[in-house]
């Protein structure tokens, strides 16, 4: 049986990732870019605690759009603030739309 190094619980009972998700202060907002294009920006995700690449992949699939990770922020093409907030809340993140 393997034991988590952070909380000391067995791996199947480990709650470190859930606690890390609940402690995130995530902001979702839109930003205008070149030629009037709208980008949805997800800011405030701590890259050390969460697998950001998998999160980005899930958000792009849920919104059916392209996106990237720049400077610790997830940027999605188009205005998807409500959909991203719902997906993040379903995953256990406390997301606020601003």
Please give the DSSP secondary-structure letter assigned to residue 51: -
13 within domain boundaries: no
State the total domains in the chain: 1
Three-state secondary structure along 55-88?
Answer: HHHHHHHHHCCCEEEECCEEEEECCCHHHHHHHH
Burial class (CB within 10 angstroms; exposed 0-12, middle 13-18, buried 19+) of 40: buried
11 within domain boundaries: no
Q: Which helix (H) or strand (E) holds 98?
A: none
**CATH for 28:** 3.30.780.10
Whether the pLDDT of residue 79 is over 90: the answer is yes
Q: What is the reported pLDDT for 72?
A: 87
15 within domain boundaries: no
8 within domain boundaries: no
Q: What is the reported pLDDT for 4?
A: 78
87 within domain boundaries: yes
| Stated pTM of the model | 0.77
Three-class SS of residue 12?
Answer: helix
1 within domain boundaries: no
The whole domain housing 52 covers 21-97
Q: What is the reported pLDDT for 73?
A: 92
16 within domain boundaries: no
Q: What is the reported pLDDT for 92?
A: 80
27 within domain boundaries: yes
Q: pLDDT of 6-55, one tens digit each?
A: 777 787 777 777 776 677 788 999 999 889 999 999 998 877 767 889 99
């Amino acid at each position: 049986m393997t034991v988590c190094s952070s909380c000391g619980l067995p791996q199947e009972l480990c709650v470190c990732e859930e606690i890390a998700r609940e402690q995130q202060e995530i902001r979702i907002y839109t930003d205008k870019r070149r030629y009037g294009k709208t980008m949805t920006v997800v800011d405030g995700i701590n890259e050390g605690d969460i697998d950001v690449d998998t999160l980005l992949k899930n958000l792009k699939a849920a919104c059916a759009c392209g996106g990237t990770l720049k400077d610790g922020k997830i940027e999605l093409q188009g205005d998807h603030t409500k959909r991203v907030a719902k997906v993040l809340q379903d995953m256990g993140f406390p997301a606020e739309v601003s």
